Amino acid sequence: MMINVPADDLGVVLRRDLVAAGIHDNAIARLVRAGELVRMRHGVYAVAQQWNQATARERHVMLSRGVVRLYGQDVALSHVSAALVYGAPDHGLPLTHVHLTDLAGAGERTQASVRHHRGGCRVDELSRRGECWITAPTRTALDTAAIVDRDAAVCVLDWFFQQGLSSPEECQYQLDARSVWSDHLDLALKLGYARVGSDSVAETLARLAFLDAGLPEPELQLEVRDQRGWLIGRVDFAWPEHRLIVEFDGRQKYHSMRRPGESIEEMVLREKQREDRIREATGWTVIRITWADLQQPSLLIARLRRYLKPAA
């Protein structure tokens, strides 16, 4: 007999939801054995078809949805888990544990794939997502940056800035308010690397590679206009004093640039024409880089130094 599982849009369902629908423990166990449900942790299940098709990131979000509902109003989804719900990139983020901040002041602990954090939240540091609490964007960005390495932290901070969900000023304000916290200095250093204007993880990592090598900091998203003042485009990185532009070529970028009904070939041709117009309008050198260049940063840096040598 077909059993109607009361799962949500992500395919997540709690044991208590199943019991309330008349599906008790023996029936739940049969559904798990039959491969129709997956037990994510005690009391939290997922529809197997949706779980099996999900990426690691999506599985983390599914588990987060179940866990925060399970714990109720005394916790807020936070750190990495909240960042993923907002849509932040998962580059370098650990996805093994759901992160909760205990609003009732409980101590820090890790149990059954859940990391509980102690830390009070002001009213402006919390938001509602459905029936559950989630830390607000700026608090989420800082909390996440505090527990990951520098590159992953800056990718997250850059994304929150670029999406308009937070800003360097808002982050600095909250950081100053938590100056007594043990992670303050490390977090301040990470925040110092973050910038408004990075459109992707790749652009963030490229900029960090430039800075680590001692190259001058580039301008981000510089507008290039023709003689009539019309906008030709914005470029990823520019060093005007060196007449140098660097553009990152990536699959994600090209997919986001495609117009409705436009083929890949048409989009690539349009981008090449855009680059030609930029070169004609500025007379500058335009260099394109890819993920492969980021895998061999020393070669990339040597290539750029030839153009930046007077100031590098």
Render pLDDT for 195-234 as a digit per residue (tens, 0 to 9): 999 999 999 999 999 999 999 999 999 999 988 999 999 9
pLDDT at 18: 96
Lowest mean pLDDT among 173-177, 231-235, 261-265, 269-273: 261-265
Confidence of residue 66 (pLDDT cuts 50, 70, 90): very high
Edge to edge, what strands does the sheet with 219-225 contain?
219-225, 231-239, 244-248, 285-289
Name which of 119, 27, 277, 292 is nearest 45 in CA terms.
27
pLDDT number for residue 269: 76
The structure's pTM equals 0.91
Kindly report the number of other CB atoms within 10 A of residue 160's CB atom: 25
Where exactly are the structural domains of the chain? Answer: 12-53, 71-193, 201-307
Q: Is the pLDDT reported for residue 48 higher than 90?
A: yes
**For residue 87, what pLDDT band results from cuts at 50, 70 and 90?**
very high
Q: Which of 35-49, 94-108, 178-192 has the highest mean pLDDT?
A: 35-49
H-type alpha helices, 72-183:
79-86, 137-147, 150-162, 168-177
Give the Cα-Cα-Cα angle 90, 159, 164 (nearest 5 degrees): 140
- For 212-234, b where at least 16 C-beta lie within 10 A, e where not — what string? ebebeebbbbbebeeeeeeebbe
What's the chain's average pLDDT? 92
Looking at residue 45, what is its pLDDT?
Answer: 98
pLDDT, one tens digit per residue, over 100-159 is 999 987 778 888 899 999 877 888 899 999 889 999 999 999 999 999 999 999 999 999
Report the distance separating Cα 26 and Cα 15, nearest Å. Answer: 12
Arch. (CATH architecture) of 201-307: 3-Layer(aba) Sandwich (3.40)
The Cα 47–Cα 11 span in angstroms is 5
pLDDT value for 312: 44
Q: What mean pLDDT do residues 58-78 have?
A: 96
What confidence score (pLDDT) does residue 252 get? 59
pLDDT band at 1 (very low <50, low <70, confident <90, very high): very low
